[in-house]
Amino acid sequence: MLNLHYYPSTASMVPHIVLEELGVTYQRTLVDRTVDAHKTPDYLRLNPNGSIPVLTDGALVLYETAAIVLHLCDTHTQAGLVPEVGSAARAHFYKWMMWLTNTLQAALMIYFYPERWLAADNVAGQAELKRRAERKVAELLAQLDAELARHGGDWFLGEHYSALDAYIFTLCRWTRGFANERPARAWPHLGPYLQRMLGRGAVQRVLAAEALSEPWV
């Protein structure tokens, strides 16, 4: 059986939403970061990086959010969460999936964890790095907003919902506490898009299962 190792409101929300959209039977295993469960020997045997999420599918053990999502899409093609193989839409799907994980999520990680890049006693430097990362994320949100404006569809690829929408929703949630730049909800096209995402049953079930409270985005 599929088993998602997760922690609320982290990147594991992406495959969590995808699993709910698929409507398949799966289990969830909480990896409690508050007690460093992601650093235990048992968890590090699943993911030597100590990051969340991990998906187990029988004997298969997967980490890296994008890899997990692509595996779920490839093994549940009937759900239509990814465009047809070989199509231009599929190529754009891959492009945006890689952009989300390598560009937007990477910038958000710098925003949330500036201490990983600078010495612990460099408080001023960490504050400056966080501010610059927030500015960079705002520039990237502008790209998402522009793409939604360009095609005018309800979902990120246009008329059809895809696994990209779960990823975008999750990362946009992470901007809800921005102090110096517009959070995703304040952009003219991203704002209504996020409200449409909140209307999806899969998203509502995930928010409830992870016991999250408002503001949702």
Backbone torsions φ then ψ of 6, nearest 5 degrees: -140, 165
Tokens 């047809």 — which residue?
Answer: 84
Over residues 168-187, the pLDDT tens digits come to 999 999 999 999 999 999 99
- 3.20.20.70, 2.60.260.20, 3.10.310.70, 3.40.30.10: CATH of 2-79: 3.40.30.10
Question: Which residues of the chain does CATH 1.20.1050.10 include?
Answer: 88-200
Average pLDDT, rounded, for the chain: 98
Tokens 């698929």 — which residue?
Answer: 22
Tell me the average pLDDT across 49-53.
Answer: 98
What pLDDT does residue 43 have?
Answer: 98
What pLDDT does residue 186 have?
Answer: 98
In single-letter form, the type of residue at position 139 comes to E
Over residues 129-164, the pLDDT tens digits come to 999 999 999 999 999 999 999 999 999 999 999 999
In sequence order, what DSSP letters do the residues of 107-122 get, joined into one string? HHHHHH-GGGTS-TT-
Q: What CA–CA distances, in Å, run from 188 to 139, 150, 152, 182, 213?
A: 14, 12, 12, 11, 24
pLDDT band at 102 (very low <50, low <70, confident <90, very high): very high
Q: Which of 194, 12, 160, 23 is nearest to 90 (CA)?
A: 160
**CATH class for the region spanning 88-200:** mainly alpha
What pLDDT does residue 128 have?
Answer: 98
What pLDDT does residue 187 have?
Answer: 98
Question: Which residues of the chain does CATH 3.40.30.10 include?
Answer: 2-79
Over residues 188-215, the pLDDT tens digits come to 999 999 999 999 999 999 999 999 999 9
